[in-house]
Chains A and B, each alone.
Chain A
Amino acid sequence: DGGITQSPKYLFRKEGQNVTLSCEQNLNHDAMYWYRQDPGQGLRLIYYSQIVNDFQKGDIAEGYSVSREKKESFPLTVTSAQKNPTAFYLCASSIIPPSFYGYTFGSGTRLTVV
């Protein structure tokens, strides 16, 4: 079955470490997105990509980096510059534009700083 796979489901990071969250899709979608979810704040866009080797910053890109070397993959790195990285991270994908079908979401990665 087609879908989006996020791994790991739970991730623990020490202060000062970079960590990378994986997102893979086999839906043949052109666009991929990363959102951060905090209680009471909804979903906030970190980065999105509409084509391989190209991506755009969202509303809260500081302290994060991404790459899009393959259509199927859109990994997110949480760098040590992100001051408060503990959150639930969601990856999504869509056709372009997303207006008619919306997004397909992965099951999320919960990142905790220890």
Chain B
Amino acid sequence: AQSVTQLGSHVSVSEGALVLLRCNYSSSVPPYLFWYVQYPNQGLQLLLKYTSAATLVKGINGFEAEFKKSETSFHLTKPSAHMSDAAEYFCAVTSIYQAGTALIFGKGTTLSVSS
């Protein structure tokens, strides 16, 4: 079975500070990992994805994430937070070896950005 754990349901940073959102996964087969962002009362938008091509993945809006197999982690970072980054972020996992299986999502982390 696969699962993801997002450490910290709420993260607060100042504008211009480093953003670090943590995601650890559990998977008995090679995982495919995703980060999504959700603004209030909207659907989820894909930020970036890891599909085994490269361990450091760059996404939209200046976000990036690094796949670390030894730590079973896929943390999301952004060097300098902007007010518009305030949203809820979800990590998700699946595997190509489980064809048709739905993505499994973490419980989400709400990012607050203060001026």
Contact = CB atoms under 8 A, between A and B. Distances in A.
Interface residues of B, number: 27
Chain B binding surface SS class: loop
B90 A97 contact: no
Nearest to B10: A40
A92 to B, nearest CB: 8
24 contacts: A4-B43, A41-B107, A43-B44, A43-B105, A50-B100, A88-B41, A92-B44, A96-B99, A97-B94, A97-B96, A97-B98, A97-B99, A97-B100, A97-B101, A99-B32, A99-B95, A100-B49, A100-B51, A102-B92, A103-B46, A103-B103, A105-B36, A108-B41, A110-B41
Given A35-B105, A105-B44, 10 more contacts: A4-B43, A42-B105, A43-B44, A96-B99, A100-B32, A100-B96, A103-B46, A105-B43, A107-B43, A108-B42
